[in-house]
Amino acid sequence: MSPLRITSQDAATGPVLSIFGDLDYTTAAQLRERLTTLTLHPGQRLVLDLTGLTFCDSSGITALIAARNHAAAFHADIALAAVPAHTLRVLRMVGLDQIFPLHPDSDAATRP
């Protein structure tokens, strides 16, 4: 098990959260808590960079959906960047690849 670490940076389009480690039952609450500290503005885009994501279970997927709902509450967009193959497979199986805009990296996700 790899502990979860979340870093943030600001881009021209809005905040970028980079997620490292396992996003699972024991760590998903950390992402949810981090979201409560983010104030988004209408038209901004929240980017979740998953380059460092090593594992994601159903609780992690639920936390990603919570992030989408958080962005929507502020009339902002959300995008996922650098989704690892193991997580992309799950997103596709449950149809979330149709809900989340997917980008190859955070640079592509933060282009206006």
Q: Does the reported pTM lie above 0.75?
A: yes
Tokens representing 111 are 């282009």
Domains of the chain, by residue range, sit at 5-109
Q: Tell me which CATH code domain 5-109 carries.
A: 3.30.750.24
65-96 residue pLDDT tens = 999 999 999 999 999 999 999 999 999 999 99
Average predicted confidence (pLDDT) for the chain = 96
Q: Is the predicted pLDDT of residue 58 greater than 90, yes or no?
A: yes
